Chains A and B, each alone.
Chain A
Amino acid sequence: MTTTVPVKKKSGGIRDLSKMFGAGQSGLRQFGILGALVLIIIIFEILTGGKTLEPGNVINIVRGNAYVLILAVGMVMVIVAGHIDLSVGSVAAFVNIIVVIAVRRLDQVLVMPESQQWLKTLMVVAAAVVLALALGAIVGAWQGFWVAYIGVPAFIVTLAGMLVFRGANQVIGNSTPLTVPDYFGVLGGGYIPDFGPDFGFSNGTLILGALAIAAVIFQEFRLRRRQSVIGATPAPLWVSFVKVGVVVAVIIFATYLFATGRVGTSFPVPGIVLGILVLLYGFITNNTITGRHIYSVGGNWHAAELSGVKIKRVNFLVMMNMSMLAGLAGVVFVSRSLSSGPGDGTGWELDAIAAVFIGGAAVSGGIGTVVGSIIGGLVIAVLNNGLQLLHVSSDRVQIIKGLVLLIAVALDVLSKRSGGPSLIGRLRRPGGDAQGPINRPDVAPTAPAEESSRPSSVTPN
């Protein structure tokens, strides 16, 4: 449908659709990657003969990838601030083993009657989550200290962390897998419980879907009201209707999928955890001072410093937050697999980083969004899943994943170089590629910076 919408007004048309992810360049980038996700889903749906969008499969994709997506939420903030975190897999493993030991203890200590099993489950899971977050915070404070206050590049600090915490996991766990009781699986493998009258759907999932639809409509309403308040010409009303209509249709379809799975299954609990995190961190990055500061440090830390941003504190918080989320991802994973072993979390960092970059973040920092990274993570997840359904062996899956990452970022780089705002901006411009590389400078040229009296060495960080 994108091609049929006339793009005449700058503030109208499909540009507004892209603003679902926030205004500006990064919004457009993510709009492009969302298109790629839809395309991949359609391709696999055809190739697998309809297996991709079967309820069971969709539920599996969410359950099986929640932990990577949780990591991507933290990773995008790290990358926006201009850093990287290679240690998340090891940190998760380190947190896991301690959480598992604690859960096993707690399970024995906490003796409760059979009828109050739900209470016991709740207490154990809550305690495990709190413990995981606390351990993650301690680890993160350690890494943040080196990055922010000593000035060691995050690449090195977290490479060291990758080794240290992997080793710590194996020392503590004696390099042997430990299991947790089955009931602990609710966090990573559970579903919204069934209740109420039976219509053949999961009622909890229906309610969730209804809430999501209400939120989308409310958001659009607010956006239009806001546009009229600030005097911007809002998009024509029909655009809003089409936009909301498409999103609502997608939500209804997803709700239908999640609500009609095998009896006993519905929308998975880790999906809810992820949803809460996306809303929370999406809000933080878009609407709070802290969020603004993260982008400003990544965009131009000199300017940020001269605007009163406390750069060290921002760097510290971002690194610490990442490790906390790594701890959370770890506990979600343990809950799903019901055990923790010496190899937990191997390669997670790479999946998370790939998700963020496919989702449109810039390697140099300053650009990237939470929603984009989630979409990027879903691209990888659907790709993984689809190739598995097609019985492609895992070695080949790796090759394909690597190439997809490379091509996704290369396309973005190329489209920016040739003067367009982004890939999607280029697709919209009629005959765009006929012009060849324009190399138009982003910034209007000014007088030659001939004699800068600026000292060549500025305040070292």
Chain B
Amino acid sequence: MVQGSENSPIILEMQSITKEFPGVKALDDVTLKVHAGEIHAICGENGAGKSTLMKVLSGVYPFGTYSGDIVYQGEVVQFADIRASETAGIVIIHQELALIPELSIVENIFLGNEPRKRRGVIDWDQAHTRAVELLARVGLSDDPETQIKNLGVGKQQLVEIAKALNKNVKLLILDEPTAALNEGDSQHLLDLMRGLKGRGITSIMISHKLNEIEAIADSITIIRDGKTIESLDVKADGVDEERIIRGMVGRVLENRYPEHDGSSIGEVFFEVRNWTVRHPLVAERLVAKNSSFTVRRGEVVGFAGLMGAGRTELAMSLFGQSYGTVVGGQIIMNGEEIRLPNVSAAIDHRLAYVSEDRKALGLNLLDDIKTSIVSAKLSKISSNRGVVDSLREHGIADGYRSELRIKTPTVDVGVSKLSGGNQQKVVLAKWMFTDPELLILDEPTRGIDVGAKTEIYNIIRKLAEGGAGIILISSELPELLGVADRIYTIFEGQITDELTVAQADPETLMKSMTSANKKDAA
């Protein structure tokens, strides 16, 4: 196959795609050109709009919900749903695999696409024969009757690809295909992608692993804040990781972060040593490996890392083992080793965790504001017999309402009626109410507007100045650089670097976030 992709025809061109969600422009005039037979990588930070773009392409967001044109094989196409795009030969493999664990490989491959005999009876013999062929093409030798749940993630990924091949795929979209895979499986998958390219299948790949992109991609499109920044030809432009990073992060830092000079920082009071955590379902996978870090009083410590790096897992496992199984490590708080077997123990030791998913994990959406705010420490406003003092509840909630400027007429309003930013303030109030010494904030500004973000940064700063230690997990580097005093980078469950905010800049951070190599790369 000809390597020079510039010469081969264009199979896909997305022209001026704009996609808006209420209040947010997720894609703004994005353009993407993919040549036939190439591997095209799409790069960008979390939230840049990569997945949204792929959802537009594959019909998840049907024609009419976006503006702009999709030209595929020389024609403007208007997909009404995924089925329509699959019929045209565009198949998307999502990061969360869409296989049914209880069904076998064959059943999954042919799900919704079953070969039939007369009167709708499934022709299992034919399905089986086809499955063996398809599995051979992706390099899987497992029995097609094996249940999906008995396969590792790597093999499941291959089954997904086999399923795509069965649909006569011409354009294969892979969303973070190697995020959950180990080194060997990743290598196998990349080899397979090269093999598919040899058979003339075009691939679009979204990945955070820049070394993989450098190794496999023919061209790269970089998206930032919902806009196309640039398109690069890997060979011709001599692209390397550094070049990609520059494109991904190269934005002007806006001055919307509170001033801080480090004067509030005190001594180390919280230390984690060699923290190792096993995945709750896959025993051999470690989501945190020998992680050690410290937090000082009055300090905001940033955790930088890409999606799936293990930041949330690390934080939740510290917070009363609410994720995975802790297999090793120590927590030292105020000079003593402490054990936190469950969340209430963690709260008693004055830890707090504001989860990244406020609707699924942070709030009971049936509750009203005041009930939510006191819910993590009801004992504080209750008698010894466990009777809640509703008068104090109301007063406390009202206090937070004015302190954090939660926009609501009264605290009797249901939290489901609030905007994202105000919901987040309720969650913050809920955890401030527990008087935390260590407050872990997991993506505290995700999905809220700029104004509310600034308010939340100010709250974080104020808490730090009040003497609390704060861990700030964020995917937005400017946010980390603007708010944190010190930043740890995490890659694949390991802490790869530690930088003061003065030492850190987006490029160095991104480097440590995308590879296990310590500073030496700089």
Does A303 interact with chain B (Cβ within 8 Å)? yes
Contacts of B418 in A (CB 8 A): 444
Whether, in the assembled complex, B367 has its beta carbon less than 8 Å from a beta carbon of chain A, the answer is: yes
Provide the residues of chain B in CB contact with A32, threshold 8 Å. none
Say whether B376 contacts A287, CB under 8 Å. Answer: no
B281, B361, B394: which contacts A306 (Cβ < 8 A)?
A: B361
Q: Which residue of A lies closest to B176 (CB)?
A: A451
**Do residues A449 and B447 form an inter-chain contact, with CB atoms below 8 A?**
yes
Contact A230 B448 (CB under 8 A): no
Say yes or no: is B64 at the interface (Cβ < 8 Å to chain A). no
A165 surroundings in chain B (CB, below 8 A):
none
Closest chain B residue to A367, Cβ basis: B366
When each residue 355-366 of chain B gets 1 if its CB lies under 8 Å from chain A and 0 otherwise, what string results? 111011111111
Point out the residues of chain A lying under 8 angstroms from B49, CB to CB. 450
* Chain A residues positioned under 8 Å from B319 (CB to CB): 306
B336 to chain A, nearest CB (A): 21
- Pick out which of these stretches binds chain A: B19-27, B227-235, B294-302, B508-516: B19-27
Q: How far is the CB of A93 from chain B (nearest CB, A)?
A: 33
CB–CB B355/A230 < 8 A = no
- Listed stretches B6-14, B124-132, B160-168, B382-390; interface member: B382-390
Considering the chains assembled together, what is the distance between the CA atoms of A288 and B386 in angstroms?
5
Q: Is A289 an interface residue (CB 8 A)?
A: yes
Q: How far is the CA of A240 from the CA of B313 in the complex (A)?
A: 53
Interface residues of B in 281-337 (CB under 8 A from A): 281, 287, 306-309, 311-313, 319-320, 322-324
B65 CB to closest chain A CB, in angstroms? 12
Chain B: minimal CB distance from A292 (Å) = 6
A428 within 8 A of B: no
B51 touches A453 (CB 8 A): no
Q: Enumerate chain A residues within 8 angstroms of B308, measured Cβ to Cβ.
A: 453, 455
In angstroms, Cα B51 to Cα A453, docked, is: 13
Which residues in window 286-303 of A have CB below 8 A to B?
A: 287-290, 292, 295-296, 299-300, 302-303
Known interface pairs A231-B398, A448-B52, A451-B51. Does A226 touch B391 (Cβ–Cβ under 8 Å)?
yes
Chain B residues lying within 8 Å of A442, measured Cβ to Cβ, are 365, 416-417
Per-position binary interface string of chain A over residues 306-331, scored 1 when its CB falls under 8 Å from any chain B CB and 0 otherwise: 11111000000000000000000000
Q: Are A305 and B322 in contact (CB under 8 A)?
A: yes
Establish whether residues B365 and A299, one from each chain, have CB atoms under 8 Å apart when the complex forms: yes
* A292 engages B371 (CB within 8 Å): yes
Q: Which A residues are in CB contact (< 8 Å) with B356?
A: 452-454
Chain A residues in 8 Å Cβ range of B353? 306
Asked whether A366 is an interface residue with its Cβ less than 8 Å from the other chain, the reply is yes
Task: Choose among B22, B343, B375 the residue that contacts A292 (Cβ–Cβ < 8 A).
Answer: B375
**B: number of interface residues (CB 8 Å):** 78
Query: Which residues of the partner chain B approach A24 to less than 8 Å between Cβ atoms?
Result: 368, 412, 414
CA distance A96 to B309 in the complex (A): 59
User: Given A445-B22, A448-B26, A449-B447, A290 and B386 touching (CB < 8 A)?
Assistant: yes
Which B residues from 253 to 304 make CB contacts under 8 A with A? 279-281, 287
Q: Which bucket holds chain A's interface residue count?
A: 35 or more
Query: Given A288-B388, A304-B364, A305-B343, does the pair A454, B375 have CB atoms closer than 8 Å?
Result: no
A425-461 contacts to B, CB under 8 A, are: 442-460
Known contacts A289-B378, A446-B420, A447-B24: A299-B414 contact under CB 8 Å: no
A453 and B398 CA atoms in complex are apart in Å by 33
Residue B200 lies at the interface, judged by CB distance under 8 Å to chain A: no
CB neighbours of B412 from chain A (8 A): 23-24
Would you call A111 an interface residue if the criterion is a C-beta within 8 Å of the partner chain's C-beta atoms? no
Given contacts A447-B26, A450-B47, contact A288 B313 (CB under 8 A): no
Contact of A230 among B343, B367, B394, B419 (CB under 8 A): B394
Contact bitstring B19-61, A, C-beta under 8 A = 1, else 0: 0011110100000000000000000001101111000000000
Residue in contact with A287 in the complex, picked from B22, B324, B367, B387, CB distance below 8 Å = B387
B342 CB–A CB distance under 8 Å? yes
Query: Quick check: A447 and B446 within 8 Å, CB to CB?
Result: yes
The yes or no answer to A403 lying at the interface (CB within 8 A) is: no
Question: Is B403 close to A, CB under 8 A?
Answer: no
> In the docked arrangement, what's the CA distance between A237 and B337, Å?
59
B96 is an interface residue with CB less than 8 A from chain A:
yes
Q: Is B18 an interface residue (CB 8 A)?
A: no
* Known A310-B342, A450-B26, A455-B312; contact A299-B398, beta-carbon cutoff 8 A: no
- Report if B108 contacts A (CB, 8 A): no
Min CB distance, B56 to chain A, in Å? 11
Q: Cβ of B347 and Cβ of A302 under 8 Å apart?
A: no
Measured between C-beta atoms, what is the minimum distance from B104 to chain A in Å? 21
Give, as a whole number of angstroms, the nearest-CB distance from B244 to chain A.
18
Q: Is A10 among interface residues, defined by CB-CB distance under 8 A?
A: yes
Contacts of A456 in B (CB 8 A): 96
Q: Is the CB of B379 within 8 A of A289?
A: yes
B360 touches A302 (CB 8 A): yes
Inter-chain CA distance A287–B347, complex, in Å, is 22
Which residues from chain A contact B410 at a C-beta distance below 8 Å? Answer: 10-11, 232
* CB of A29 to closest CB in B, whole Å: 12
Q: Is B466 an interface residue (CB 8 A)?
A: no
- Judge whether A459 and B364 touch: CB under 8 Å: no
Contacts of B26 in A (CB 8 A): 447-448, 450
B368 touches A300 (CB 8 A): no
Within the complex, what minimum Cβ distance (angstroms) separates B394 from chain A? 5
Nearest CB on A from B358, distance (A)? 9
Report the nearest B residue to A24, measured CB to CB. B368
Given contacts A444-B418, A447-B47, A289 and B386 within 8 Å (CB-CB): yes
B207 proximity list for chain A (CB < 8 A):
none
Q: What separation, in Å, do the CA atoms of A304 and B96 have in the docked complex?
A: 26
The reply to whether B362 and A303 form a contact with Cβ atoms under 8 Å apart is yes
Interface residues of B in 45-84 (CB under 8 A from A): 46-47, 49-52
Q: Are A445 and B23 in contact (CB under 8 A)?
A: yes
* CB of A2 to closest CB in B, whole Å: 21
In the complex, what residues of B have CB within 8 A of residue A451's CB? 46-47, 50-51, 307, 475
The residues of A that contact B365 with a CB separation of less than 8 Å are 299-300, 442-443
B281 / chain A contacts, CB cutoff of 8 Å: 457, 460
Given contacts A296-B375, A450-B52, contact A443 B359 (CB under 8 A): yes
B112 close to A (CB within 8 Å): no
Jot down 26 A-B pairs with beta carbons below 8 A, ordered by A: A23-B412, A287-B387, A288-B387, A288-B388, A289-B382, A292-B371, A292-B388, A295-B364, A295-B367, A296-B367, A299-B365, A299-B366, A302-B360, A306-B362, A308-B342, A308-B344, A308-B347, A366-B366, A442-B417, A446-B23, A447-B47, A448-B26, A450-B26, A450-B52, A453-B356, A454-B357
- Since A296-B364, A303-B364, A310-B342 are in contact, a sample of 18 more A-B pairs with Cβ atoms closer than 8 Å, ordered by chain A residue number, is A289-B386, A290-B386, A292-B375, A295-B367, A299-B366, A300-B366, A306-B353, A307-B343, A308-B347, A444-B420, A445-B21, A446-B419, A447-B21, A451-B51, A455-B312, A456-B96, A458-B280, A459-B323
Binding site for B on A (CB under 8 A): 10-11, 23-25, 226, 229-232, 287-290, 292, 295-296, 299-300, 302-310, 366-367, 442-460
List of 10 A-B pairs having minimum Cβ-Cβ separation, nearest first: A446-B447, A299-B364, A446-B420, A308-B344, A453-B307, A444-B419, A447-B447, A445-B22, A307-B376, A299-B366
